[in-house]
Structure 1
Amino acid sequence: MRPSLLDPLFAPITSLAGVGPKVATLIERVLPADLGDRDARAGDLLFVLPHSVIDRRNRPGIAGAAEGAIVTLEVRIDRHQPPPRGNRSVPYRVYAHDDTGEIALTFFHAHAAYLEKAMPEGEHVLVSGRMEWFNGRPSMVHPDHIVLASEADTLPPVEPVYPMTAGLSAKVLRRAIGQALERVPPLPEWLDTAFLRRNTFPTFGDALGRLHNPENPTDTMPENSAWRRLAYDEFLASQLSLALVRARVRRLAGRPLVGDDRIVARLRAALPYSLTGSQETALAEILADLTEPDRMLRLLQGDVGSGKTVVALLAMGRAVEAGGQAALMAPTEILARQHFATIAPLAEHAGLRIAILTGREKGRERSETLARLADGTIDIVIGTHALFQEAVTFKRLVFAVVDEQHRFGVHQRLAITAKGDAPDMLVMTATPIPRTLVLTAFGDMDVSKLTEKPAGRQPIRTVTLPLERLDELIRRMKDAVADGQKIYWICPLVEESEEVKLMSAEDRFASLKPVFGQRMGLVHGRMKGAEKDEAMRAFKDGETSVLIATTVIEVGVDVPDATIIVIEHAERFGLAQLHQLRGRVGRGSKPSSCVLLYKDPLGETAKRRLSVLRETEDGFLIAEEDLKLRGEGELLGTRQSGTPGFQVARIEFHADLLETARDDARLILSRDPDLQSERGQALRLLLYLFGKDDAVRLLRAG
């Protein structure tokens, strides 16, 4: 049970004064928490941190106030001048003065009664807002704050500025955050005293207070000790929950998977090439893990086209030798079918029985597959998350491979765990993840890396081209198609959008149709599975030569004879994504090219991004650069996807705290695995505060 101490923070956000259902919906848009399917709570507001401040301590007097500056003035109110009756287009003006000059305070669509009460004639009043000068006359339109001089202490000297969304006023959000802060109870300290002193960290409550009620502009900087304190708390909560999941997963004792090498040898013999050095190393690490009685949890990182699938297949062969079943789970149907197409011929050559199971298999075919999984006549099954739905039972699932890890969180790992007899897990990702992020997302995993490209892979020539030269590019593409080459053309959107002026896949398809006619195909995320597969098949079989697509083809799509990829509006994509997309070509024996089409003028970050891509094909180097350029929030997908997009911590500022948090979490759990001690009980509160309720449930489930 959650300690009752925290109940006020876990009450719905609508329990705060002034927050009805409509305002709650707006506030949810600015919350950094991944709400999933729950409603927002009061405590979620604590971590909506200011991104900057307005310094209201600047009091230069009317004559000394610069155009556009935010100033606070103490003035005496002279007179009110309402607009003429019936003419709402004329503003309401209030004239006032100080020792240095006069000013007009201007209000559009004003409520006269409110203004007369807030600024009685003859009274001294503090107004704070942006200065404007018209024809040498000073004015302030809609001051941000108006307070009587006798109540000057209610004006915040330094005011935090929060992320906003259309329709939500800063005042309403600030008031809601203020109420949430008042609900923070006195909490026991969960950090080690010596560590607190060494880092000059304030308490949890003081850190929140300092960020939301800053006295100095520096109080709200990520480098400040208040923000660092909260970042460390968040890292610690995340590392503790990863370690608890790992302990739970490990506690479900694995079993040694020992084989006689007959299947693995047959699979090797079926391969048309020999493994690279790093494939051999990774395979040796995995097979060594499998012989241990503990469960394996290993991350296999390899750049696009480095041959992860083959390593996974050989490991699955070992699991079958040991008398079990293996499953490979992919994030999309396209990918699952592609893995099936790659693996099936090799598996059959080695005498393995293999099947596919996605949402599309229906009726008799589906029931047959399910029956064969349950009675053990299928050795290897490939599919989407449909594999882990209730209806699917395995006879003896001992090994699970999950492709493209960042789409699968801790929950999914536990769901897979529930399916088998505590299966060993191999997680594959083609997104090269910098070391710091490996710690945040996969602090609970061992890591193998594939660092070479398989033999025969060609380097990819990368060029940048402004959109003004589009006609020239289309002429060159026409020649390439006439020469028998295949081209991917990637667009950022499915259809044209009002807000963003970008070329959509459907528009580009329409504009190129007169040039390439029937030689063109189209693939995007809104199409039905069968349509997508058909378009991919036609492209693969050479019925079409130009495939217009959105980023659905980013992961794992394999057409070895595609030699050119054009990425339109390349400035809109992140580095890791551009690198992923580029990896769709250069898979065969012919030299390949990647054309990055961009729209001028380019910002600094976009320039740097495109030049990094021109300079290197090393995915790990690209991932480190991406982290520097963008911060971790977007690196593993959007903020909302519940990946290591932290609420408070920012990798670019707080990476140094991460390793400490991981070591701290391990040490705590080695001494107090069930968090029963005094500090353990305090740490349970920390887990709740950062939404790690699942980890606390694991403690109870034991």
Structure 2
Amino acid sequence: MSRPEVLFPLFADLETLDGVGPKTAQNLGHMGIQAPRDVLFTLPHTGIDRTLRDSLEGAPLPGTFTVKIKVGAHHPSRNRGGAYRIHVEDAQTSFQLVFFHGRSDYLNKVLPVGSERVVSGKVEMFDGVANMVHPDHILPPEEADQIPQFEPVYPLTAGVTQKTMFKASRAALTRLPDVAEWVDPGQIVQAKWPDFASAMQAAHSPEAQGDLSATSGPRTRLAYDELFAHQLTLALARASERHVAGRPSVGTQALQQKVRADLPFAPTGAQERAIADIADDMAKPVRMNRLLQGDVGAGKTLVAFMALLIAVEAGGQGVMMAPTEILARQHLEGLQPLAESAGVVLEILTGRDKGSERRAKLAALARGDIHILVGTHAVFQDDVQFDDLRLAIVDEQHRFGVRQRLALGKKGGTADVLVMTATPIPRSLALAQYGDMDVSVLDEKPPGRKPIKTALVSTGRIEEVIARLQAVMAEGRQCYWVCPLVEESEALDLTAAEERFKRLRAVLGEGRVGLVHGQMPPAEKDAAMARFQAGETGVLVATTVIEVGVNVPNATIMVIERAETFGLAQLHQLRGRVGRGEAASTCLLMYQAPLSEAGRKRLEVLRETEDGFRISETDLQMRGYGDLIGTAQSGVPRFRIADLERQSALMAVAQSDARKLLVDDPTLQSPRGQAARVLLWLMRQDEAIRLISVG
């Protein structure tokens, strides 16, 4: 499939645009502008009112004004590079035009004494005289209509001026193609949106400040086009997943009943709903692709284990993958008692398994003697073969790419896939990142989890905090101490952690304090964690490596140093490391005074609520989604016009519309389907185009 001809002019070389030479084209490249299409999707962010006025008399200075003048005397500068001043008069008052490095021959030609001109530019008071320095526009009155009444202001980069952007955008607008409508006609009527070309014209030709807001009709329409193209891509990916034949795995309930009989508490409503969703998916002849989203302590482990049991009941095997060895071992510990209740064989496979022990495990796995395997990415190695893999569960999605998700699926060509994440993701982000998956949310806490008391203390009170730790340790309890993240440098993170470790060891005693950080060899890290889990060390000093999933029920205090440097979602995850046992737990957020207004607000949200979804929504509003998920996790697309934070409702509409279009027209052959194909090309959704041409 090749790009539709109607779009050729928009994907031509930048240099085919008026006023864009090789150098400008190169500079525009730094802004991600590669073709005329990208010029169109770079919208003005503010505007300047250049309405013609009679006089500057009474005008609020400084400001930008357009006024008709009569040119008076020229006063060239006495020294090189000084100010060249020209005395001018409008209908009611006089002021000066000022040019630095002004050349007499040029200025006498452009502004001859006695002539009339229209000038537009920024006016400021200087030594009691109004000055317009380097006017943006100087034209004879009969050409004054060339000055836009309201001039759009574009984002710029080095070597690109407003004039260049304005000219390039006007040239690109002349190439707007006449395309058929891809948005649902009902949506257009209800939202009163213009068609694509009119929306683009209007967005580049604002008539007042209000036209620049993201909520204006033309801009909302263009944002929707971006979101719709993205959701169409995800929906196509989802549909192609749907075509992947799965194998129906129908549970008999026999093993699940045994586990239920041994549970101390009945599962929550949310857990029951998730288990039912998963069982339904697994029973279907297509491959499951579901996301299980649960807050800290919402009981994902039980749901995951019930899903694994369905695979075993159906005569197959299940695998659960964790990003690190520590987490894999922990899943093993969490699942062991459940496996004993059910009477199934549970094993672990990590990079540590070597030689004959590893060979024995692999043989048992291939024979089907191991029912459930817990592992790290070692599970991806070629020599790992299952007898009959029915379900693959991937923990903490963002550390596994989609590629690995697929590689795991290949082990059992038809295996169902369940992805678990403990990071509550705001709805708009979940739609952008996981729009191709079905989502189950665990939004209730199982009974028996004690609330965690959260307090804010300034770093000045560190002595009191240490004294508190001593008291808690005397009662046989344990504590985490998380060190601050130092900007961009693991070496500095390390120094901070080591300093804190030495200081605490000096106060609390040798052998009572452990240390884990990112630079340690994995075996040392595991050993330090194991000593803490066994209760040999009372305090564990750590960088954020303990963020995900560590389970030590005896730990009741979490100290987070310089809490204001962490993201809210991260603080919420860290806090979830305590409050896992019988005793009341506390999280101390230590901050460096003075806190900024925003910093204080963020920490107070944590003090007020343990609801991870509310926390992540706040985080999104305050920091923006780029920070929230970190630039490294670029699973989230960057949009040029749409704003994920403020337009999440629009994203939801785009998702349901994209899915509906594909239900009605799976191969996009109808007139609207054909228009949608053009949209995918326009939005550079090559992935989607590949899926259609393959499909």
Q: Superposed, which structure 2 residues align to 1:399-410 within 5 Å?
A: 399-405=391-397
1:53 aligns with 2:47: yes
The CA deviation at 1:346 is: 5.3
1:614-654 superposed Cα distances (whole Å, 9 cap, x missing partner): 22212233344445555655555449713265443334543
**C-alpha distance in 2, partners of 1:531/1:125?**
78
1:148 aligns with 2:139: yes
Q: Give the direction of change, closer, same or farther, for the CA distance of 1:4–1:685 in structure 2 (3 Å limit).
A: closer
8 Å CA contact 1:327, 1:380 repeated in 2: yes
The CA deviation at 1:304 is: 0.4
> Rg bigger for which structure?
2
**2:612 counterpart residue number:** 619
8 Å CA contact 1:495, 1:505 repeated in 2: no
Question: Among 306, 309, 316, which residue is 1:314 paired with?
Answer: 306
**1:219 counterpart residue number:** 211
Q: What is the SS of the residue equivalent to 2:486? A: coil
Q: Which runs of 5+ in 1 are unaligned?
A: 32-39, 498-502
1:100-129 superposed Cα distances (whole Å, 9 cap, x missing partner): 23235364xx58599759955546666555
Q: Superposed, which structure 2 residues align to 1:344-355 within 5 Å?
A: 347=339, 350-355=343-348
Q: Superposed, which structure 2 residues align to 1:330-479 within 5 Å?
A: 330-331=322-323, 334-343=326-335, 347=339, 350-357=343-350, 379-383=371-375, 387=379, 394-405=386-397, 416-470=408-462, 472-477=464-469, 479=471
1:683 aligns with 2:683: no
Q: Superposed, which structure 2 residues align to 1:579-598 within 5 Å?
A: 579-598=572-591
Q: Give the direction of change, closer, same or farther, for the CA distance of 1:538–1:176 in structure 2 (3 Å limit).
A: farther
Q: What is the SS of the residue equivalent to 1:670? A: helix
Q: Superposed, which structure 2 residues align to 1:190-339 within 5 Å?
A: 190-261=182-253, 263-264=255-256, 275-331=267-323, 334-339=326-331
- More deviation, 153-162/417-426: 153-162
The CA deviation at 1:263 is: 4.6
8 Å CA contact 1:357, 1:369 repeated in 2: no
8 Å CA contact 1:440, 1:644 repeated in 2: yes
8 Å CA contact 1:488, 1:562 repeated in 2: no
The CA deviation at 1:594 is: 1.8
**C-alpha distance in 2, partners of 1:93/1:478?**
75
Which amino acid in structure 2 is aligned with residue 567 of structure 1? I
Q: Return the TM-score normalized by structure 1.
A: 0.81
**1:514 counterpart residue number:** 503
1:2 aligns with 2:6: no
8 Å CA contact 1:56, 1:158 repeated in 2: yes
**C-alpha distance in 1, partners of 2:329/2:427?**
31
The CA deviation at 1:176 is: 5.9
Q: Which runs of 5+ in 2 are unaligned?
A: none
Q: What is the SS of the residue equivalent to 1:27? A: coil
Q: Give the direction of change, closer, same or farther, for the CA distance of 1:422–1:588 in structure 2 (3 Å limit).
A: same
The CA deviation at 1:319 is: 1.0
1:146-167 superposed Cα distances (whole Å, 9 cap, x missing partner): 4434654444443444556678
8 Å CA contact 2:558, 2:587 repeated in 1: yes
8 Å CA contact 1:78, 1:95 repeated in 2: yes
1:453-480 superposed Cα distances (whole Å, 9 cap, x missing partner): 3444221111223445455445544555
**C-alpha distance in 2, partners of 1:426/1:69?**
59
8 Å CA contact 1:409, 1:643 repeated in 2: no
1:225-276 superposed Cα distances (whole Å, 9 cap, x missing partner): 1111122223322332232222222222322213445554566678777644
The CA deviation at 1:522 is: 5.2
**C-alpha distance in 1, partners of 2:355/2:72?**
80
Which amino acid in structure 2 is aligned with residue 97 of structure 1? V
- More deviation, 424-433/604-613: 604-613
Question: Among 486, 501, 504, which residue is 2:479 paired with?
Answer: 486
The CA deviation at 1:221 is: 0.9
**C-alpha distance in 2, partners of 1:225/1:657?**
13
**C-alpha distance in 1, partners of 2:571/2:119?**
50
The CA deviation at 1:680 is: 1.0
**1:567 counterpart residue number:** 560
1:572-608 superposed Cα distances (whole Å, 9 cap, x missing partner): 5444333222212212222222223345555554444
Which amino acid in structure 2 is aligned with residue 675 of structure 1? L
The CA deviation at 1:288 is: 3.7
Which amino acid in structure 1 is aligned with residue 49 of structure 2? D
1:666 aligns with 2:659: yes
**C-alpha distance in 2, partners of 1:21/1:370?**
57
**2:647 counterpart residue number:** 654
1:529-576 superposed Cα distances (whole Å, 9 cap, x missing partner): 556545544544456544454444333233333322233444454443
**1:27 counterpart residue number:** 31
8 Å CA contact 1:234, 1:649 repeated in 2: yes
Q: Give the direction of change, closer, same or farther, for the CA distance of 1:433–1:121 in structure 2 (3 Å limit).
A: same
The CA deviation at 1:675 is: 0.4
Q: What is the SS of the residue equivalent to 1:206? A: helix
**1:557 counterpart residue number:** 550
Q: Superposed, which structure 2 residues align to 1:96-245 within 5 Å?
A: 96-99=87-90, 100-103=93-96, 105=98, 107=100, 116=107, 120=111, 122=113, 128-140=120-132, 145-149=136-140, 151-162=143-154, 181=173, 183-245=175-237
Q: Give the direction of change, closer, same or farther, for the CA distance of 1:565–1:147 in structure 2 (3 Å limit).
A: farther
Q: Give the direction of change, closer, same or farther, for the CA distance of 1:12–1:385 in structure 2 (3 Å limit).
A: farther
8 Å CA contact 1:636, 1:644 repeated in 2: no
Which amino acid in structure 2 is aligned with residue 319 of structure 1? A
**1:84 counterpart residue number:** 79
8 Å CA contact 1:282, 1:449 repeated in 2: yes
Which amino acid in structure 2 is aligned with residue 69 of structure 1? G
Which amino acid in structure 2 is aligned with residue 694 of structure 1? E
**C-alpha distance in 2, partners of 1:23/1:384?**
45
Q: Give the direction of change, closer, same or farther, for the CA distance of 1:661–1:478 in structure 2 (3 Å limit).
A: same
8 Å CA contact 2:346, 2:374 repeated in 1: no
* CA RMSD across the alignment: 4.3
- More deviation, 204-213/132-141: 132-141
8 Å CA contact 2:513, 2:540 repeated in 1: yes
Q: Give the direction of change, closer, same or farther, for the CA distance of 1:416–1:487 in structure 2 (3 Å limit).
A: closer
1:49-95 superposed Cα distances (whole Å, 9 cap, x missing partner): 4443333448584554444434445554743645735xxxx654444
1:69 aligns with 2:58: no
The CA deviation at 1:399 is: 1.2
Which amino acid in structure 1 is aligned with residue 347 of structure 2? I
Q: Return the TM-score normalized by structure 2.
A: 0.82
**C-alpha distance in 2, partners of 1:12/1:523?**
53
Which amino acid in structure 1 is aligned with residue 2 of structure 2? R
Which amino acid in structure 2 is aligned with residue 27 of structure 1? M
**C-alpha distance in 2, partners of 1:585/1:687?**
47
1:425-472 superposed Cα distances (whole Å, 9 cap, x missing partner): 222222224455544444454433323334442211112234454554
Which amino acid in structure 2 is aligned with residue 3 of structure 1? R
Q: What is the SS of the residue equivalent to 1:255? A: coil
Identity of aligned residues (%): 47
- More deviation, 184-193/258-267: 258-267
**C-alpha distance in 1, partners of 2:110/2:493?**
53
- More deviation, 427-436/466-475: 466-475
